[in-house]
Amino acid sequence: MEIGIDSFIATGAYNDGLRPEENMMAMEALLSKIAFADQAGLHVFGLGEHHRKEFLDESPAVILAAAAARTQHIRLTSAVTVLSAADPVRVFQEYATLDIISKGRAEIVAGRGSFIDSFPLFGFNTQDYDALFEEKIKLLLEIRDNETITWKGKFRPELKQQAIYPRPVQEQLPVWIGVGGTPQSFIRAGVLGLPLMVAVIGGETHRFRPLIDLYYEAGEKAGHAREKLKVGLHSLGFVADTTMKAKNIYFPGYQEMMGKIGKERGWSTPTREMFEAQADPTGAYVIGNPEEVAEKILRHSEALGGISRFTFQMDNPGLSKEDIFKAIELIGTKVIPMVNQS
């Protein structure tokens, strides 16, 4: 199993944006974190895309290219590219370029996005939320698989015998579908024969099994081999020497972060009791000492029918650099060996 980290570069600047000096410090901290994850033996690092004051991931391909220059082995991916509000031609060009810079380590996780800020920013109607993604994922795959294409759709100008460059180092640039809890999204990924990245940020992870079964069923009906249909899992997580320490370090920043987002979405601010429930053996959060974290990843994998990738979402305004680097070290030296030796 591949194990890594996804980041949104959440700065905590919910009310006032950061000063330029603070932005530079936050970006340098991120790039240092990716370089350290590479040295620690993590397999993948993903970068989200938001268009909000409290994030610095508006241009993930640019940041990942900077990370590529500092790393040797770790795979670099979006997490997710908000494809509905993007031009698939430019997305392909950006990640093909990243693939060249990284010598074949680029990937795309394409999704519809959980925030809709990019829609008005780039002139798209949220009423077309699903139709946009449906059209654009098919165009992205057409570009990936063919150097020259002829294509016509509803949401962008047609292409007539248009060659698209550059081409990536990898024979086929990996494209995953990032999903939340919508059944149609799981089915679409199966029909397209694409690997599935499931974001579970609340509830009980095993309850996603029927949706993953839909994915496999749709993929097999569409004629895709089972080994081509793989599943990844993304969850909030953190590792420390002891489980109590991990929870105590992670909770304050988690409460602040989720409380701010909750105000926008009508959620209540999470209490410690709610947090503990999510961190229990069947809850979504993967937080604890290395042994408990490894056991929980394996338990989730079994419950979902087998996963090939797990990524931690560790962004949290309450975590220090030392906390994060220690967690990365524990993931690389203890969690990954325990998961893959089982």
Residues 144 and 184 in one domain: no
Residues 184 and 321 in one domain: yes
Residues 233 and 257 in one domain: yes
Residues 153 and 221 in one domain: no
Least confident span in 99-108, 220-229, 266-275, 296-305: 266-275
**CA end-to-end span of the chain, whole Å?**
11
Distance CA 260, CA 273 (A): 18
Residues 164 and 269 in one domain: no
What is residue 96's three-state secondary structure? Answer: helix
Residues 169 and 253 in one domain: no
Residues 166 and 180 in one domain: no
Confidence of residue 65 (pLDDT cuts 50, 70, 90): very high
Residues 145 and 243 in one domain: no
Q: Which of 143, 173, 203 is the last residue of a domain?
A: 173
Residues 234 and 146 in one domain: no
Supply the mean pLDDT for the chain. 95
Residues 133 and 253 in one domain: no
Residue 13 predicted with pLDDT over 80: no
- Which domain range does residue 209 map to? 176-341
Residues 162 and 272 in one domain: no
Under a CB-based contact definition with an 8 Å cutoff, are residues 34 and 67 in contact? yes
Q: Which of 158, 173, 188 is the last residue of a domain?
A: 173
Residue 14 predicted with pLDDT over 70: no
Q: Which of 173, 188, 215 is the last residue of a domain?
A: 173
> Which residues touch 240 (CB under 8 Å, ≥6 apart)?
246, 249, 288, 289, 323, 326, 327, 330
Per-residue b or e along 8-17, where b marks 16 or more CB atoms closer than 10 Å to that residue's CB: bbbbbbbeee
Distance CA 196, CA 176 (A): 6
Residue 15 predicted with pLDDT over 80: no
- Number of compact structural domains in the chain: 2
Residues 4 and 88 in one domain: yes
pLDDT at 342: 65
CATH code, domain with 198: 3.20.20.30
Whole-model pTM: value is: 0.95
